[in-house]
Chains A and B, each alone.
Chain A
Amino acid sequence: GQQVMQIPQYQHVQEGEDFTTYCNSSTTLSNIQWYKQRPGGHPVFLIQLVKSGEVKKQKRLTFQFGEAKKNSSLHITATQTTDVGTYFCAGRGTNSGYALNFGKGTSLLVTP
């Protein structure tokens, strides 16, 4: 089935450094969603991107959807310890079934 690949699997940064996670698909995506899961918690919706080349910002977080709608990224500027967690992307192929496919996630560790 359609795969959504996410890199890196882990990232360890010092507080104040920037962080980026990338999501790639071999097929065109109709939309992509991003979720955050704190350690021991459940995934929480962050944002959805639908349009080619779309860029959305939430405070220190910047989300991008590629022009070809096959990739996406999440960039965090000046990380804080509250950013710790696993970030998942989830997308659906334009010719795929009904449900979203989740990437395996990027686990972010931020040390003060």
Chain B
Amino acid sequence: NAGVTQTPKFQVLKTGQSMTLQCAQDMNHNSMYWYRQDPGMGLRLIYYSASEGTTDKGEVPNGYNVSRLNKREFSLRLESAAPSQTSVYFCASTLGAGSYNEQFFGPGTRLTVL
């Protein structure tokens, strides 16, 4: 099992460009999450999907959109990238909804917006 995979691993964008970060899990998990990690800021939740067909905003959703394509895949889209979105993005999944579940993280996407 690959666990949680993310593509791409690295990306450089110019201000105003758009892109989609891909995430997939092969653990048959129901819930998936997108976080961003900035130096000294810890992990901040952008969006999550408690189950297939549902998505909800997290702490920092502005400038992002998500799609839960199916049970395995959860994508994050930046419609018009800004330098403030330079960050490391982690996707995670849990077997069930709710905070009692262990989160499994992907390897991350390191995004730079110039």
Contacts and interface: CB of A to CB of B under 8 A. Distances in A.
Interface of A: 1, 6, 9, 30-31, 33, 35, 41-45, 48, 50, 88, 90-92, 98-105
Please name the 5 residue pairs, one residue from A and one from B, whose CB atoms are nearest each other, closest first.
A92-B99, A104-B42, A102-B43, A42-B105, A45-B102
12 contacts: A31-B99, A33-B102, A42-B106, A42-B107, A43-B90, A45-B102, A88-B43, A90-B43, A98-B97, A99-B33, A100-B99, A104-B41
B53 interface: no
A40 to B, nearest CB: 9
Contacts of B106: 42
Interface in B61-114: 90, 97-100, 102-108
Instruction: Report the contact-size class of chain B (Cβ under 8 Å from the partner).
Output: 20 to 34
A44 B105 contact: yes
Interface string B23-58: 000000000010100001111110010100000101
